[in-house]
Amino acid sequence: MQKILIYGVGNPYRCDDAVGIKITEELKKRIKKPNITIKSGSLDGLSMLDEILGYNKVLFVDSIKTTEGKPGDIYKIKVNPLKKKPSLSASHGIDFVTAVRLGRKFGYKMPTCIDIYAVEIEDNSCFSEKCTEKVKASIPEVVERIMKEINKKGRRRQIIKKRRWGDKENGGAKRERKF
């Protein structure tokens, strides 16, 4: 069974920056699978290594502030540390991609799949434990998307277990066989 980590990143006291944490709080209420761990906190690149070690798949949930996005927009970003050039100038010290590359270089068991669900934010400088209305309104949608992704993986395994096979005694006619 695939070990999955869902990690909400943010600061719970910086308004919209807490959206990742709030999403993981909702997911904790709904997900009770033994192979899925749900955590949250405020991490930088190197300290994330300790959190992701030993998992097959990691879903980070975080805030994002782009130039063209609207508050509440939802993004899914696939991380491929082998394609992106590393950078040592990240705002939290060493960037995440560089940290993953270092983990692999030092022989740690790193996840084979890392994705980020990000919500476009409006305010991450105000001190508040509440998100702005547009960001708050996006939380149920992100929760549903993550739930679908987790459940989709289970259904995919069931579909893969169905095979088509030829019956030699019946002229090689194809039949569906369920395992």
Which CATH number fits the domain that encloses residue 119? 3.40.50.1450
* Kind of pairing between the strands at 173-177 and 163-167: antiparallel
Nearest residue to 36 (alpha-carbon basis) of 144, 132, 147, 157: 147
Per-residue pLDDT of 11-64, as tens digits, reads: 999 999 999 999 999 999 999 999 999 999 987 777 888 899 999 999 999 999
Mean pLDDT of 60-78: 94
Residue 151 to residues 67, 117, 148, Cα–Cα distance (Å)? 33, 16, 5
pLDDT at 163: 39
Give pTM, 2 decimals. Answer: 0.78
* 118-164 confidence digits (pLDDT tens): 999 999 989 999 999 999 999 999 999 999 999 875 444 444 343 34
Contact call for residues 20 and 29 (beta carbons, < 8 A): no
pLDDT at residue number 152: 78
- Strand, coil or helix: 27: helix
Q: Please answer whether residues 145 and 26 qualify as being in contact, where contact means their C-beta atoms are separated by less than 8 angstroms.
A: no
**How far is residue 58 from each of residues 113, 115, 175, measured CA to CA in Å?**
6, 6, 38
Q: How much is the CA Rg of the chain, to the nearest whole Å? A: 20
More confident residue, 92 or 70: 70
For residues 129 and 143, what is the distance between their CA atoms, to the nearest angstrom? 19
Strand partners, 164: 176
What six digits make up the tokens of 166?
A: 């030829």
Residue 141, domain extent: 4-177
Per the structure, the count of domains in the chain is 1
- Contact (Cβ atoms closer than 8 angstroms) between residue 63 and residue 118: yes
